[in-house]
Structures are given as structure tokens and as C-alpha cells.
């Protein structure tokens, strides 16, 4: 059950009255002592809803991508991503996810985070990199008496290093995760459909 929702009349995120007594919610609510309008509290619940509500327009986005879109769309690009660093906000996020997501949905969200991390990692792996290796090269020199000599010196020279195996292994892991992600997405979709059918039966 989601205790955060959109008030369509005022077009803002609200919280159900019974959820205000949730300890993680209370901590944020009491932290905002500035005035009765609770601007910080409302900022937090707006951020949490748009970033973590399962049935949201951005729910197919990867987690970090979704947070950036929320900052741009709902906060005019303000630095709201730093809210994630607050341990009390993190606790509220965990409570919200626990209450409005089933085990499969929570697993799916964590899987999307793993996918995003892996894709970002793959993008940092170049197919080839330049490394410097030590190599002995022959040199000639003339001594003080005018005699020509030949010797070797060790110098570092640039060499192209093939990273394709590392990159292809990472891509293979990403492909396996994508298959699992699709499987979990379908499971979550099926579970949501069953929940809606159950609710409609009780409403009759």
C-alpha cells in the first residue's frame, strides 16, 4: 500500500493521515520546525514519491537516471539528490518501499540498480588503452676521447593494450542480467495485475 499519493486537485504529493504516525515519517516531520507549512517535509515526501513510487511515469527508468529526471522535472534542477545522503531520509525511503512494494518489486528495483552500475562500468572500458612498458633500446655515444661506443638504455614506450576480452565479458554479464531483468519485470507486472483483480473483487 502506498501512503504517499498525488492530490489531483492541488497537483502535489500528499501523505495519508494514518501514515504520519510511522516512526520514519515522524522523524522527518519533527525535524522540520520552521513553520506549519513544513517545506522540508513536503520536499522529502515529494522526492520520495516521484523517485520510488512503483506506479509512476518514470518507473521504467534506471534508479540514478530516474532521480536526475525527478530533480529536473519536479524540482527545476535543484540539488535534491543530496537528500539520499541523509540517514533519516534513507530510512523513510526504505519504509516507503517496504510498505508499497512486494518482495518481487523490491528485488526488481535492486536488480535495476545493478544493471545501471554494470552499464556505467562497461562504458568506462575502452576497447584499447595505451600503456607504457619498459624496453631496452640501443644507443651510440662518443666518449671524451672521441671513441664511438654502443650500449642499451631502458626507456618507457607507449604500447596499445587490448581490453576487448574484459569488455566483452562485462557485456555478456549485462546480457544475462537483462534476461533476468525482463523475467522479473514480467513477474512484477503479473503480480500487479493479480492485485488489481483481487481489489476489484473486494470492491464489488
Tens-digit pLDDT profile for the chain (204 aa)?
689 999 888 889 999 999 989 999 999 988 877 677 888 999 999 999 999 998 888 988 888 999 999 999 999 877 888 998 999 999 999 999 988 888 888 888 888 888 888 888 888 888 888 778 888 888 888 888 888 888 888 888 787 878 888 888 888 888 888 888 888 878 877 877 776 666 555 455
Assign 118 to helix, strand or coil.
helix
Which own/partner contact pairs does 62-69 have at CB distance under 8 Å and 24+ positions apart?
62/112, 62/113, 62/115, 62/116, 62/119, 63/109, 63/112, 63/113, 63/116, 64/113, 64/116, 65/116
- State the pLDDT at residue 46: 94
For residue 198, give Cα distances in angstroms to 25, 32, 56, 123, 150: 29, 39, 21, 44, 89
- Residue 178 sits at the vertex; the CA angle it makes with 175 and 181, to the nearest 5 degrees, is 160
Question: How far is 66 from 69, CA to CA, in rounded Å?
Answer: 5
Nearest CA-CA partner of 140 in 130, 131, 129, 148: 148
pLDDT for position 49: 94
- DSSP SS3 for 137: strand
pLDDT given at position 186: 80
Question: For residue 200, what pLDDT is reported?
Answer: 53
Tell me which residue of 51, 55, 43 sits closest to 15, measured CA to CA.
Answer: 43
Is residue 118 within 8 A of residue 173, CB to CB? The reply is yes
Whole-model pTM? 0.69
pLDDT of residue 201: 52
Q: Are 3 and 100 in contact (CB under 8 A)?
A: yes
- Cell 638504455 appears where? 153
Amino acid at each position: 500500500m502506498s501512503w504517499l499519493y498525488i492530490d489531483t486537485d492541488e497537483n502535489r504529493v500528499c501523505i495519508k493521515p494514518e501514515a504520519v504516525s510511522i516512526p520514519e515519517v515522524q522523524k522527518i516531520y519533527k525535524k522540520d520546525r520552521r513553520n506549519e507549512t513544513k517545506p522540508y517535509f513536503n520536499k522529502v515526501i515529494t522526492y520520495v514519491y516521484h523517485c520510488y513510487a512503483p506506479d509512476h511515469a518514470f518507473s521504467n527508468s534506471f534508479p540514478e537516471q530516474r532521480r536526475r529526471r525527478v530533480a529536473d522535472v519536479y524540482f527545476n534542477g535543484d540539488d535534491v539528490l543530496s537528500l539520499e545522503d541523509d540517514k533519516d531520509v534513507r530510512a523513510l525511503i526504505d519504509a516507503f518501499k517496504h510498505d508499497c512494494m512486494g518482495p518481487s518489486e523490491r528485488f526488481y528495483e535492486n536488480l535495476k540498480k545493478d544493471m545501471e552500475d554494470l552499464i556505467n562500468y562497461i562504458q568506462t572500458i575502452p576497447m584499447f588503452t595505451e600503456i607504457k612498458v619498459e624496453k631496452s633500446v640501443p644507443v651510440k655515444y662518443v666518449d671524451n676521447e672521441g671513441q664511438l661506443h654502443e650500449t642499451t638504455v631502458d626507456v618507457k614506450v607507449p604500447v596499445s593494450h587490448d581490453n576487448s576480452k574484459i569488455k566483452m565479458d562485462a557485456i555478456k554479464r549485462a546480457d544475462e542480467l537483462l534476461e533476468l531483468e525482463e523475467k522479473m519485470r514480467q513477474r512484477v507486472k503479473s503480480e500487479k495485475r493479480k492485485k488489481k483483480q483481487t481489489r476489484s473483487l473486494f470492491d464489488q
